[in-house]
Structure 1
Amino acid sequence: MKKILIFGLGRSGHGLLDYLAGDYDEILVTDDAPFDADKLSDAYNTKISAYTDGESVDLVLLSPGISPSHPKVLKWLEEGVPLQSEIDFAAEQLPGAVMAISGTNGKSTTTAWCAHILGVPAAGNIGIPLSATLRERALLQWNILEVSSFQLAFSRALHPKLAAILNITQDHLDWHGSLDAYIEAKSRLFASMDESDSLLIGVDSPLLQKMMEGRKHPFVLREFSVQREVEKGAFYKDGGLWLREEKDIFLLDSEELSLQGDHNIANALAAASLAYCAGAKVGNIRRALKDFPGLRHRYEIVASSDGVRFINDSKATNPESTLPALKSAKVPTIVLMGGYDKGIGYDILFAQELPHLKAVVCYGSTAAIVAESAKKYGVERIYRVRDLEEAFDKAFQISAPGDDILLSPASASWDAYSNFEERGDHFRELVGRLNP
């Protein structure tokens, strides 16, 4: 029997333990954070042992947070130890087809929207590891996965039947080391696809277009665009959303979408095209585009107090994902921005016309960088505070009836929180204190 080592005991690591427990006499685990192997053994009713450096193993299963430059990873690569990503391992166990969705921004919403159309559960980077749901997927025709660049960095065998890359902008450069490495990770999404498969790309993204230029590929290429018509795929024209396959199919006017904004038109186009290729009926697509409820932490209207509306957009972990929220603002908006520094700048955000931006309240590790960029582009009201709670208090103090207070950090959460969900929940808790 193979000797398996799981590296990383976050959600994906525990998903792997849940799936493998009972099939192996012993499972080795390791993590940079402290853990109790005895407690894990009791929890999974399987012998789970802490890995000792230098111990011989047949396969290392990597959680998505493990960096390619981690010393252990480099050592295993040098020694020729087989490494496999959690997403690759889990996908190999699936009887049904895989639909995989990636991109810098919009992938969670698009994945959830597509799953809503098809009536199946989504998994992957959306917050539910695929490995944790394998036992529930035996009868599913389609497995819809959100796939991040972290998951793709070690992917060598993922073979989607349908896949989408929505867009590419600079992100996670601290982790990948360079933009080229980030783009290379994204390209692994379609590395194993063949002539019977289809890849959908967002042609409004210059970096994504550049990535695809000159690439020979066996798969069917589809496109989606908010800015122009496409040969095959989905597009936006004269206020309406269209599919173009064997014929043009009008879906609905953009005003009928359950989620508004140009970015959500793009998300809806991608979800509709993928769902149609997966066999969804046009009537079901139309209905689901109208009644999709959206995601928590993604421009989520939490509550109002004293005439001020509070919006939780904690999922916005880079400037490009904050930009749609600010550009679509219709009232004076105070934005709370800051968090972990991923090595990207904020000029692309503040260089835009943002007529309803009332003030920027900066906090966390990126506070100084955000404030400097905002000042550079003429934002007049800039406040620097220590953390999210102080930012919330300052925003409420300077607000007036009719304002929006928007948490859209444009930064990762890791300087103070485990993930963006925890950060968003803290914001919701702060709002709740105003309305006990």
Structure 2
Amino acid sequence: MREELSHKSNQLSSFEGVGGGFLVILGGGESGVGTALLGKAKGYEVFVSDKGKIKESYKNVLIHNEIEWEEGQHTESKILNADVVMKSPGIPGTVSLIDTIRKHNIPIVSEIEFASKFTAATIVGITGSNGKTTTATLTHHLLKDELNVGLAGNIGESFANQVLEKNFKNYVLEISSFQLDDIVDFKPRIAVITNITPDHLDRYNYQFENYIRAKFKIAKNQTADDYLIYDADDEVIVNHLKANPVQSTLLPFSLKKTIENGAYFKNNELIITIDNNKIIMPTKNLALEGKHNIKNAMAATTVAHLLKIRKQTIRESLENFQGVEHRLEQVLKINKVQYINDSKATNVNATYYALESMDAPTVWIVGGVDKGNDYRELFPFVNEKVKAIICLGVDNQKLMDTFGNMVDVIVETQYMSEAVKIAYKVAEAGDNVLLSPACASFDLFENYEDRGRQFKDAVRNL
């Protein structure tokens, strides 16, 4: 593997910030079109190929910029003329076309890799199975008042397009394992790993170790001058670091133990120490609730402290941060029942955090595309906090079998509007209704955002 990477790295040196050559982009979505625009601006001949349909808005951008494209197919003869291929993170590395490209020794990179060649900005890269969106958004929120900073990666406008049009001096990038799969030289100045729990194992031969290694690619090119911020309470991360030391300067954070260089939580305060420079942040006015959000705040505050953001700015920003859509988002209170949208919880660990944070009897809406879920870690919360379960999916049998004997009320439906109406009938004053699916959304919805918006619309229509 190391030989393969170094070989690819040599081939990639031709675009160390210098354009030219034939750039093929597989996937005409946000990252693909952003890369196409940046590639063209840097002197590449660009061809965008998407096996599915390209959205009209993206097609119009490609046409307006005179970039050649195709949809509904991959013309292999043309693709194999590429000097470099940018692969959309949604395309698995196991498909036959990717194998053929590799056999032709054509380097394959991610958008993150490609775009990073054309910026000298300080990059904060944030990954993890859960919490990365909140942590990235919160980090950007802490930095934006004092630094020229963009937010990109797996969130919002593409990194490539921001490098082209905005040219920020700093970037906070939310980075998925799929985006990390195709990096070669990319390295963030500051890397954050929020946690690692089993997820997307269908993309990693159902081997958790492969997924862990993918996450740790965020630090693989770092040196002692760079920083890795990570959850010291996460045994998966700690054990992997012991067996596979990295070059980075380590800054752990913990809810459970005192940390000399890094961050910890004690007596409702965050204590962050970097090179004997300590700051203390009270958490009683923290806008985000739940233990997991204290961890997200520790990670983001450590980044802000590293980048010399003033303590007053950090404190004010922590207190006025409103969170992200579809992540424990309080929608409405109707008849003293709180409706909560946690549609972004697409795995069991994310739902664990959601149920842990519930402080009232809860009607739980769960279900979707099961990714080999093991629901056992949720049992204590279901027994303690959940009064009714509404299974929302095409196939709910596993959920019905798992939780059928644990609650008095368990029903199934394939319609969000019906799920919300059932919840309305079952919930009583003082209860919560929580959409936290623990599953992917693709059986009934376009994506988790569509699922969350349909939930909010249904609640507003009650």
Q: What is the TM-score of this pair, normalised by structure 1?
A: 0.93
1:386-417 deviations in Å (ceiling 9; x for gaps): 23333222212212222211111111222232
**35 and 246 in structure 1: CA distance in 2 versus 1, 3 angstrom threshold:** closer
> Partner residue of 1:111?
136
- The CA deviation at 1:332 is 1.5
Q: Given residue 90 of structure 1, which amino acid in structure 2 is its aligned partner? A: A
In the other structure, the counterpart of 1:276 is 305
SS of structure 2 residue aligned to 1:216: coil
Q: What's the offset of the Cα at 1:32?
A: 2.4
Query: Per the alignment, do residues 163 and 23 of structure 1 end up closer, same or farther by CA in structure 2, a change over 3 Å counting?
Result: closer
The CA deviation at 1:77 is: 1.4
What's the counterpart of residue 35 of structure 2?
A: 16
Instruction: Tell me, yes or no, if the aligned pair for 2:362 and 2:433 is still in contact at 8 Å.
Output: yes
Aligned amino acid, residue 14 of structure 1: V
Paired residue for 1:30? 49
1:309 aligned to which of 338, 343, 354:
338
Q: Secondary structure at the match of 2:259?
A: coil
- Cα separation, 2, equivalents of 1:25 and 1:83: 15
Q: Are residues 1:128 and 2:157 paired?
A: yes
Question: Match for 2:107: what amino acid?
Answer: P
Q: Is the 8 A contact 1:223 1:231 kept in 2?
A: no
1:417 aligns with 2:445: yes
How far apart are residue 340 of structure 1 and its match?
Answer: 1.8
- Structure 2: stretches of 5+ with no match in the other structure: 1-19
Change (3 A) 1:74 1:301: same
Q: Post-superposition shift, 1:31?
A: 1.9
What is the match of residue 195 of structure 2?
167
- Structure 2 vs 1, CA of residues 266 and 375 (structure 1 numbering), >3 Å: closer, same or farther? same
Match of 1:236 in 2: 265
Supply the distance in 1 between the matched residues of 2:457 and 2:27 (Cα, whole angstroms). 30
Work out the CA distance in 1 between the residues paired with 2:407 and 2:60: 51
Does the Cα contact within 8 Å between 1:103 and 1:168 map onto a contact in 2? yes
Pairs within 5 Å for 1:143-292? 143-177=171-205, 178-247=207-276, 249-292=278-321
Matched, 1:6 2:17: no
CA separation of 1:113 and 1:341: change in aligned 2, threshold 3 A = same
The yes-or-no answer on 1:66 pairing with 2:85 is no
SS of the equivalent of 1:54 reads: helix
Structure 1 segment 335-350 matched on structure 2, within 5 A: 335-350=364-379
Among residues 24, 35, 43, which one is paired with 2:63 in the alignment? 43
Verify the 8 A CA contact 2:112 2:153 in the aligned structure 1.
yes
Matched positions, count: 432
Match of 2:75 among 52, 59, 74: 52
Secondary structure of the residue aligned to 2:46 is strand
Residue 95 of structure 1 aligns to which amino acid in structure 2?
A
Does residue 93 in structure 1 map to residue 93 in structure 2? no
Percent identity at matched positions? 33
* In 1: Cα distance, 2:288 partner to 2:327 partner: 11
Query: Deviation of residue 36 (structure 1)?
Result: 8.9
Whole-angstrom CA distance in 2 between matches of 1:345 and 1:132: 39
Cα gap change, 1:47/1:353 in structure 2, threshold over 3 Å: closer, same or farther? closer
Q: TM-score, normalised by structure 2?
A: 0.88
Amino acid at match of 2:389: V
User: What letter matches 2:30 in structure 1?
Assistant: R
Q: Please say if 1:386 is aligned against 2:414.
A: yes
Runs of 4+ aligned residues of structure 1 deviating over 6 Å after TM superposition are: none
| Deviation readout 1:148-206 (Å, 9 max, x if unpaired) | 11111111221111111111000011122221111111111001101110111101111
Alpha-carbon separation, structure 2, partners of 1:307 and 1:78: 62
Distance 1:92 1:416, change over 3 A: farther
Contact 2:28 2:49 in 1 (8 A): yes
Assess if the C-alpha contact under 8 Å between 2:150 and 2:162 holds in 1. no
Question: 1:301 is paired with a residue of what secondary structure?
Answer: strand
Matched, 1:80 2:109: no
What is the deviation of 1:4? 1.2
Distance 1:260 1:29 in 2: 43
Note closer, same or farther for the CA distance 1:104–1:59 as it changes in structure 2 (3 Å cut): same
Distance 2:26 2:65 in 1: 19
Shift of 1:26: 4.5
1:321-374 per-residue CA deviation (whole Å, 9 max, x = no partner) reads 111221121221111111122222222222446522111111114522223222
Distance between the aligned counterparts of 2:67 and 2:88, measured in 1? 20
Quick one: distance in 2 between partners of 1:93 and 1:63? Answer: 19
Q: Cα distance 1:36–1:97, how it changes in 2: closer, same or farther (>3 A)?
A: closer
In 1: Cα distance, 2:128 partner to 2:62 partner: 39
Q: CA deviation at 1:40?
A: 4.9
What is the 5 A alignment of 1:311-326?
Answer: 311-326=340-355
SS of 1:249's partner is strand
For 1:401, the equivalent position in structure 2 comes to 429
1:396/1:112 CA distance change after superposition, 3 Å: same
SS at match of 2:384: coil
Q: Which residue of 2 aligns with 1:432?
A: 460
Distance in 2 (CA, whole Å) between partners of 1:419 and 1:219 is 36
Q: What displacement does 1:251 show? A: 2.5
| Aligned-residue CA RMSD (Å) | 2.1
The change in CA–CA distance for 1:36 and 1:431 in structure 2 (over 3 A counts) is closer
Q: What code does the residue aligned with 2:52 have?
A: A
